[in-house]
Amino acid sequence: MDVSSIISPLNDAQRLAVSAPMQAMLVLAGAGSGKTRVLVHRIAWHLKINHIAPHNILAVTFTNKAASEMRHRVEELLNISARSMWIGTFHGLAHRLLRQHAKQAKLPETFQVMDSDDQLRIIKRLLKSLNIDDTKWPPKQVQGFINGQKEEGIRARHMSDNGDFYYRQMWQVYKAYEELCDRSGLVDFAELLLRAHELLRDNEDLLSFYRDRFQQVHVDEFQDTNTIQYAWLRLLTEGNNNLFVVGDDDQSIYGWRGAKIENIFNFQKHYPDHQVVRLEQNYRSSGHILKAANHLIAHNDSRMGKELWTDAGDGLPLSLYAAFNEQDEAYFVVEKIRQWVKDGGLRSDIAILYRSNAQSRQFEERLMTTATPYRVYGGLRFFERMEIKNALAYLRLSANPHDDASFERIVNTPTRGIGAKTLDDMRILARDNAVSLWQASLTLLQENRLPPRASSALQAFLNLINKLSQETANHEALFESVKYVIEASGLIELYKKEKQDKGETRVENLEELVNAAKLFDYDSNNPENLSELDLFLTHAALEAGEMQGDADEDCVQLMTLHSAKGLEFKVVFMVGVEEGLFPSQQSFEDPGRLQEERRLCYVGITRAMQQLTISYAESRRLYGKDSYPRPSRFIKEIPAEAIQEIRIRANVTRPVASTPSYNSGPASKSRYKLGQAVRHEKFGDGVVLQTEGDGEQERVQINFRNAGIKWLMLAYAKLDLI
C-alpha cells in the first residue's frame, strides 16, 4: 500500500488536521468541506503512520449507515480489515460495553433493549397501575420527561422535591419506571447511554482499561452530542488529550432531543491543549447550491461564523416548484426522477427529503405505480411492524423471561384465553411484590389462585416460552430459531386467517424476518462474540430502515431531513417546504427552535451535489387535515438569482397566501384553470397545471393521474371538463 494515498487526496487544511501530533483536535467547518473525510484519513494515519492497532481506535457517529461507511472507507484506503476497530453509534457502542460488563453495570446478563415504542407501552401500563389519569399525564410527556432527565445524567434518586406539583408527580413516575425496568431487565435508549457512562465512572479498573485501550477517540457530528454522550467521551479521554472531534455548529439539529451545541465550547475549555482546524472549501455542491445555503444560514444569529466557497462553478440554479397539492408534488417529483433515469442516471443518486415521516406516503404511492424502486429510511421501519414486533417479543421473552414489555405484548397474542382479569391479577401481584410478570404468573399458578381455565391457559403459555428458549439454545443458526418461533407461537396461523392482503403481507413479513436473521452479518457486528440472538435483537431495536428494499437494487432514497445528515446525493428534492410544516408549527413561537429548523434546512440544501429542487404545495392534506399553507420563509431567504421557478403560469396567478381559491389572472380567457379536473380519452383523468398561448395555439399542461404530466394542444386534444 502506498502511504501517500492517506495524504495526497487532501487540501492543506485537511492535511494539517490529519497529520497533527496526538492531541485534542477540533475540526470546525461547514457542510461538505471534508470533515468526515478528514476523520477517516486521520484513522488511517494512526494505523499506518503511528502504528496504532485497529482495536486501539474508537470512532463514534450517529447512524449505523455512517458507521459502516466509515469502516468501509478505512478498509478501502488501507486495504485491511478494520473489524476490530470500535466504530459505531453512541447507542451501539454503549450497548456493547453493557453486554460485556453486564454484571458491573448492574444489569442481568439477559437484559433487553427496548425501542421508544416499547418504552411508551411500559409507561402507559405503569400509569395505569399507579392509578394516574393518562389524559392529564400524557404518556408521551412522561416519556419525554424521563428521557430528558436521563440525557442530563439525572436519576430519580438525584432529584428532590422542589414543591412543584407537576415535577413531583413526574419524579414519582420516573422512580417507579426505573424500578420496573430494573426488575424486567429492560433498557431504553437513553438508559444505554446513561448506564454506559455510570459503568465507566464507577468502575475504576474498567475505566483505566478502556482509557489505555482507546488511544485515539474520534467523533463525527460532534455538534449533536448531548450531555451524557459528551461526559462519556470525557471520561475516556480527559488527561490523555486524545479526543478528535469534527463538527459544524450550523448543522446542530437535535437540540429538541437534548443535544448541546455548547459542547463545542466545553471541548475548548476541557481540553486546553487542543488545536482548532477550519476548513472552508466545499467539494460537494455546485456554486448556486452553496450560495443558497450560505445565504439561508446567514439569517441565524450567534453562529460561530464561517463561509464556504467552491471552485466547482455555478452549476444549475435551484428549481422551485409550486405544486397544486401534495399529489401533484409527488407526480412532479417522480416525473423528474424518471427523466433522470431515462437520461442514464442512477436512482441511488436521488434523494427525496422531507420534514416529517408522514409525507413519504404520497411519494411511495407514486413511485409504486410507476414501478420505480425506492427505499425508505426511518418511518414505520420493518422492525416496528406489529407482526415483527410480536415475533421479536417471543424471541426476547425466550431470552429473558422477565422482560415485561414482551410479556405484555404476547401473553394473549394470539388469543389463548388469558383474560383481562387474570392479567390484572398478575400486574397487581407483580407490582406489590416488585417482581416480573413472569414471576407473578408462576406464583399465581403455584398457589392455585386462578380459575381452572385461566390457569391452564397461562400454564400453556409459560410452557411455550420455556420450549422456545430450549429450542433457541439448541439451534445452530439463529434463523432456524426464528422460523421455529413464528410457527410454534401460532403467529403465522393467526395472520393467515386475517382477511385480505393485510394478513398476507404480515405472513410475508414474518418470512422476511427469517430471511433477515439468515442474512444478518454477525461477524462484522460482533467483534466481541456476543450471542447471535442478543446481537440480532439489539440490531432490531437500534437499526433504522435497513430492511426495506433490496440493498443491492438501484433505489431512490427517501428519508427525513434529520436522517440525511452527513450524506450526499447528486440530485435532491426537498419537498413540503411550507410554513407550518417546515419550519414546523411548533417552532413559530420559539426563536431557538426556529433557528434549529433553519439549520435543518441548511442540512437539506447542502446534501445536494448537482441538482436541488425545492417544492411546496398550495394545498395539503396531512394527518387527515386540509391546509392552504404559504411557501416557507426559508425560500425567501435564498437569493433569487440562485433559484429558478419551474412553473411558468401564463394564465394562472398564484393564489394569495392562504386563500384556497385559484383565481385566473386578468388576461385569461381560458376555460382551463389551475386545478380544473379534466378527462382525456386516452390518458384518463387529470388536473390542469397551466395554460399557455391562445386560440389555435392554446396549450395546456395536465397532470394525468396515470399518465403523468403532459402538454397538450387544445386544438387537437379531446378534453372534457369534469
Residues known to be catalytic: 35-36, 220-221, 251, 607
Residue 701 binding Mg ion, by CB under 5 A: no
φ/ψ of residue 374, rounded to 5? -150, 165
Distance CA 634, CA 219 (A): 30
Q: Does 139 bind ligand ATP (CB under 6 A)?
A: no
Strand order in the sheet with 275-279: 86-89, 57-61, 216-219, 243-247, 25-29, 275-279
The answer to whether 284 contacts ligand ATP (rule: CB under 6 A) is: yes
Pairwise CA distance, residues 536 & 532, whole Å: 6
Closest CA to 291 of 646, 614, 565, 606: 606
224 binds ligand ATP (CB under 6 A): no
The minimum distance between CB 306 and ligand ATP, in angstroms, equals 11
Nearest to residue 27, comparing CAs of 216, 214, 217, 221? 221
Among all chains, which residue has been given the C-alpha cell 399557455?
Answer: 692
Q: How many binding residues for Mg ion (CB under 5 A)?
A: 3
Q: Rounded CA gap, 692 and 313, in Å?
A: 34
92 belongs to the binding site for ligand ATP (CB under 6 A) = no
Within 13 Å and on the Cβ side, how many CA atoms surround 136?
Answer: 9
In the complex, which residue's CB is closest to Mg ion? 36
413 binds Mg ion (CB under 5 A): no
Q: What's the CA gap between 4 and 704, in Å, rounded? A: 56
Whichever of 36 and 112 has its CB closer to Mg ion, that residue is 36
Which is closer to ligand ATP, CB of 195 or CB of 284?
A: 284
Residue closer to Mg ion (CB basis): 34 or 185: 34
How far is residue 642 CA from its own chain's centroid? Answer: 30
Comparison of 6 and 482: residue with beta carbon closer to ligand ATP: 6
The secondary structure of 382-405 as a DSSP string is GGGSHHHHHHHHHHHHHH-TT-HH
| Binding of residue 11 to ligand ATP (CB under 6 A) | yes
Could you tell me the smallest distance in angstroms from the CB atom of residue 462 to Mg ion? 50
Q: How far is the CB of 264 from Mg ion (least distance, A)?
A: 15
Q: How many residues bind ligand ATP (CB under 6 A)?
A: 19
Q: State how far Cα 694 lies from the chain centre.
A: 50
Number of CB atoms found within 10 A of residue 175's CB: 14
Q: Which stretch binds ligand ATP (CB under 6 A): 30-38, 75-83, 431-439, 503-511?
A: 30-38
Cβ partners under 8 Å of residue 718, min gap 6: 680, 681
3-class SS of residue 35 = helix
Give whichever of 33 and 216 is closer to ligand ATP, judged by the CB atom. Answer: 33
Residue 33 binds what, of ligand ATP, Mg ion, none (CB under 5 to 8 Å, by partner type)?
A: ligand ATP
Asked whether position 481 contacts ligand ATP by CB under 6 A, the answer is no
Q: Output phi, psi for 464, to 5 deg.
A: -60, -45
Q: Which does 93 bind (CB under 5 to 8 A by kind): ligand ATP, Mg ion, none?
A: none
Q: How far is the CB of 64 from ligand ATP (least distance, A)?
A: 16
Under rule CB under 6 A, residue 72 binds ligand ATP: no
32 binding ligand ATP? (CB under 6 A): yes
Which conformational region is residue 342 in: left (phi greater than 0), alpha (psi within -120 to 50 degrees), or beta? alpha
DSSP string, 294-323: HHHHTTSSS------B-SS---SPEEEEEE
Residue 34 interacting entry, from Mg ion, ligand ATP, none, C-beta within 5 to 8 Å by type = ligand ATP
Q: Are strands 719-721 and 708-713 parallel, antiparallel or unpaired?
A: unpaired
Contact flag: residue 287 with ligand ATP (CB under 6 A)? no
Which of Mg ion, ligand ATP, none does residue 10 bind (CB under 5 to 8 Å by kind)?
Answer: ligand ATP
Which listed range, 25-33, 47-55, 105-113, 443-451, lies at the site for ligand ATP (CB under 6 A)?
Answer: 25-33
Q: Is residue 400 a contact point for ligand ATP (CB under 6 A)?
A: no
Interface map 244-273 toward ligand ATP (x if CB under 6 A): ----x--x----------------------
14 makes contact, choosing from ligand ATP, Mg ion, none, with CB < 5 to 8 Å by partner type, with ligand ATP
Write the CA distances from 404 to 183, 491, 635, integer angstroms.
9, 19, 49
* Beta-strand pair 608-622/625-627: antiparallel
Which region among 26-34, 79-87, 442-450, 710-718 touches ligand ATP (by CB under 6 A)? 26-34
**Nearest 5°: CA angle at 592, between 590 and 593?**
70
Among 6, 24, 25, 33, binds ligand ATP (CB under 6 A): 33
Q: Which is nearer to ligand ATP, 220 or 408 (CB)?
A: 220
Q: How many beta carbons lie within 10 A of that of residue 349, not counting itself? A: 20
C-beta neighbour count of 4 within 10 angstroms: 8
Is residue 41 part of the contact set for ligand ATP (CB under 6 A)?
A: no
Closest CA to 601 of 332, 298, 323: 298
Shortest CB 59 distance to Mg ion, Å: 12
Output 69 or 512, the one with its CB closest to ligand ATP: 69
The region of 34-42, 86-94, 252-260, 546-554 touching ligand ATP under the rule CB under 6 A is 34-42
562 near ligand ATP, rule: CB under 6 A: no
Residue with grid cell 437484559, as numbered in its chain? 111
Quick one: which of 698, 704, 653, 644 has its CA closest to 674? 653
Q: Minimum CB separation from Mg ion for residue 568, in Å?
A: 9
Please, are residues 145 and 170 in contact by the beta-carbon 8 Å criterion? yes
Cβ pair 242, 24 in contact under 8 A: yes
Contact pick of 1, 3, 9, 463 for ligand ATP (by CB under 6 A): 9
Site string for Mg ion, 561-590 (x = CB under 5 A): -----x------------------------
User: What is the x/- site pattern for ligand ATP, positions 566-605, by CB under 6 A?
Assistant: x-x-------------------------------------
Using rule CB under 6 A, residue 35 touches ligand ATP = yes
- Pick from 434, 411, 410, 494: which is nearest to 180 by CA? 434
Contact positions with Mg ion (CB under 5 A) in 537-566: 566
Is residue 649 a contact point for ligand ATP (CB under 6 A)?
no
Q: How far is the CB of 309 from ligand ATP (least distance, A)?
A: 13
Residue ranges binding ligand ATP (CB under 6 A):
9-11, 14, 29, 31-37, 248, 251, 283-284, 566, 568, 606
Residue ranges binding Mg ion (CB under 5 A):
35-36, 566
